Structure 1
């Protein structure tokens, strides 16, 4: 059975097509990865250069960038739809950005290596399996097989193992060819962790292809004619590839609708009005007041991250600005968390809707495979959410750093290098020296490997369960199959 499958035209065609697509896709995807990596490196370098220009503490507003994953070549997922950066500001909590709305999913939405497995090799698995039983019956060879001592389970297991071995050859060739091309490209640097993830992707691909082969074997055992089993297999493939992903999103929007974004904007507008009221209340409580007099000021640009700063000003102006910042900034920090809570409630509804759509689509092996590949590549929603959750504590570290250096935002260095003692003596055209920020907290981020394994475990389990279920039903049908 194995040798006969190797000599078929459909195996040769599928293998050649797979190799051609791998040879075309991988260099193109690697070049796109290099462009994203160069952009990330340029942005990080820009951040470092701007930090060296910061003159006042309120201008410490760096942007944290998520390094693009080289494994996006295998599964692009949502890499181009969700934002890969987060701005650090004292008056705003970072949140996931980009196209967070639920769009109808499609197997053809992105081009990556997993697309070859979802289309070419999965269809090849169906083509290898659709006539294993029904085709043998039509040719009359099935009756000859059972004229000997071979048991039905032996015949079915033999055809299963032979078909899977052929598909293992295809999957192995595809992964080895793709890996060789990647290793030959100078811009790609695969770490040990990347190689482990690629190994898991290879394993997931084998389980997925085995599921599709067992599905084709099932239809071959149910139908008496190979043409019928082929039509059934392709029909169910279309359902798994197109109907279920789209239908699950549509059903999720009906079952779990999210609140209108206008309502969220209204809540945020109401909070903005509360800030003004809170400021007046805190000002009265402090017993301080604004100083009357001339509020002349001299502003300067180039204070870091595109922000300016107050170079010098009158005594009244400096006093009033200092009073304004010392009271308003702590309020803005508190209300930033309230803004974030409102936005998180909206995003939580959106993510719950996405979670429901993912669960509904799990009846499709193609969706299960896509979930595993994107999780291992770090291009799924959970991967981006994990990055944002790691940035939030870093924002708190930056705020505490600014608070400690400015005595809870009550020193002039927060907004101007001009101290109250220098008001009369500092020349208006004088430029300030940058701050010493060598002890500024640094952001570090590593993907949670355990979390990734936990995310892919259910999908792996469902794929294995699908294999067992399809083969069990195929065996039950084959036991009573009429070989005449």
Structure 2
């Protein structure tokens, strides 16, 4: 009997213009957002491959450790096509530097992206579901009970020997299935569009996440419909039910989504960026003072020892005495640079942390609204939240520590290979600097012109000498887990899922309890 009632509700909904119109809009908007996301993904995959290739070539050509500046390039996430979140479909880059490091990687946009477009909201499939399909759920549910009472059909139905529980459950099931039909069609269409892109390759984990995203969206639509049907059960006329549902949709959806970031600022004191700039300047001032103090105690050799070709941050053909002084200078300075990196990190994120905490507040308090709760859950499932960005950043920090240990194992900080690729026994530009007068060091002096011509010829030969390149075959590769596992992602969704399930269950129970005592007159 109940399935006959479900069939009646389902046919009633399917034959209405509101469902047909919503179906068309849902499919069109979903297809457009997926096409745009897929095109963005392809462009960013090309950017990712270009950056990866450039990084590989730079490492292959590097000849001194100071010029070795690896960058971690992370590929764009295919699930971001459907749920952009904070990360979006852009690849990520994390620079590995000795004297600085960051909390998370930066987005590496395609050079064809417009900077002006970043000021606009880029909608995705999740946004279409949150706004359009949730509105359809309200439109289908607000008059599900009170509308039939006004038309008199509910009184006629209840005169039959049908349990009231069957009637209300049939309305719930029929309405929910009616919502799942346009969503399923749009979801399948979006998947087909994404799979038509040769650059989009879903892993087994991605397919599991897509399946969970489908179930999550079905549950979200069921939640919104059950809440609107509960309003219909408590309201006596459709006008009142519609006003309540629309008000709740506007406040809980559009209003709460827009206002929550503003409200989050009141709970944290934002520190002006100038505070970090001042601290950073002070750190570098102290560093320069320490270096100057060391140089006073260890004066550098005379100018003649430093003559050579110093280009692109690399020294060539300086005198070995100058190199030995630089080795000691570098070994002393590198220890301070590593300490300063930690101090700068603390100073920077002491200033920026309140902003990150505001974003975390938005995620935590999103559970109060079904709409924001669904969005945050979807973004966590797609691994495109700010927390996922910081998770990748922690993997980058771990690799930086490994990289520094590798350099120390190579004694890179205390060897002349940090700043020059001159082999042992390389003839310097000035072989006997102690015998050189000031006049001989002038650029127009015959001696300097002769030695500079020699150095330029040696420079040309050195540039073609593959033996000067660093052997980095044993350099550690970035690996590890820079993305959350499915279990970790679900773990971060626990509170939001609990709120969603409890509110859905409460709405169903309230609707059934109210309908059992409902007066159809």
- Structure-2-length-normalised TM-score: 0.84
Partner of 1:411: 415
2:405 aligns with one of 394, 400, 403? 400
Map 1:44-123 → 2, pairs under 5 A: 44-80=52-88, 84-96=92-104, 109-123=121-135
The structure 1 segments of at least 4 consecutive aligned residues displaced by more than 4 Å after TM superposition are 80-83, 280-284
1:176 aligns to 2:203 (yes or no): no
Aligned-pair CA distance for 1:473? 3.0
Partner of 2:112: none
1:244 aligns with one of 240, 256, 268? 256
1:192 aligns to 2:196 (yes or no): no
Contact kept in structure 2, 1:297 and 1:310, CA below 8 Å? no
For 1:314 and 1:84, the matched residues in 2 are separated by 42
For 2:309 and 2:393, the matched residues in 1 are separated by 34
Partner of 2:386: 381
1:428 aligns with one of 455, 466, 477? 455
1:440 aligns with one of 472, 475, 484? 475
For 1:225 and 1:145, the matched residues in 2 are separated by 18
1:275 aligns with one of 287, 304, 325? 287
Contact kept in structure 1, 2:75 and 2:91, CA below 8 Å? no
For 2:90 and 2:355, the matched residues in 1 are separated by 14
Does the C-alpha gap of structure 1 residues 473 and 281 become closer, same or farther in structure 2, counting only changes over 3 Å?
farther
Does the C-alpha gap of structure 1 residues 48 and 280 become closer, same or farther in structure 2, counting only changes over 3 Å?
same
The C-alpha deviation readout for 1:189-223, integer Å capped at 9, x for no partner, is 12111111100110110111111101211221122
1:292 aligns to 2:302 (yes or no): yes
User: SS at the partner of 1:85?
Assistant: strand
Aligned-pair CA distance for 1:227? 2.5
1:224 aligns to 2:259 (yes or no): no
Partner of 1:104: none
User: SS at the partner of 2:304?
Assistant: coil
Partner of 1:33: 41
Aligned-pair CA distance for 1:374? 1.2
1:371 aligns to 2:407 (yes or no): no
For 1:199 and 1:142, the matched residues in 2 are separated by 38
For 1:274 and 1:8, the matched residues in 2 are separated by 74
Map 1:247-326 → 2, pairs under 5 A: 247-279=259-291, 288-299=298-309, 301=311, 307-326=312-331
Contact kept in structure 1, 2:78 and 2:89, CA below 8 Å? no
Q: Structure 1: any 5+ residue segments left out of the alignment?
A: 100-107, 302-306
Aligned-pair CA distance for 1:83? 8.0
Aligned-pair CA distance for 1:420? 6.6
1:156 aligns to 2:168 (yes or no): yes
2:498 aligns with one of 461, 464, 467? 461
The C-alpha deviation readout for 1:261-316, integer Å capped at 9, x for no partner, is 221222222211222344356678xx754333524333355xxxxx5311221345
User: SS at the partner of 2:69?
Assistant: coil
Contact kept in structure 2, 1:290 and 1:319, CA below 8 Å? no
For 2:310 and 2:131, the matched residues in 1 are separated by 59
Partner of 1:233: 245
For 2:40 and 2:158, the matched residues in 1 are separated by 55
Contact kept in structure 2, 1:33 and 1:68, CA below 8 Å? yes
- Structure-1-length-normalised TM-score: 0.90
Does the C-alpha gap of structure 1 residues 245 and 19 become closer, same or farther in structure 2, counting only changes over 3 Å?
closer
Aligned-pair CA distance for 1:471? 2.4
Does the C-alpha gap of structure 1 residues 297 and 220 become closer, same or farther in structure 2, counting only changes over 3 Å?
farther
Q: Structure 2: any 5+ residue segments left out of the alignment?
A: 1-8, 108-119, 432-453
Does the C-alpha gap of structure 1 residues 346 and 476 become closer, same or farther in structure 2, counting only changes over 3 Å?
farther
RMSD: 2.4
1:145 aligns with one of 150, 154, 157? 157
Aligned-pair CA distance for 1:413? 0.8
Partner of 1:212: 224
Does the C-alpha gap of structure 1 residues 2 and 479 become closer, same or farther in structure 2, counting only changes over 3 Å?
same
Please say which structure displays the higher CA radius of gyration. 2
Aligned residues: 468
Aligned-pair CA distance for 1:36? 0.7
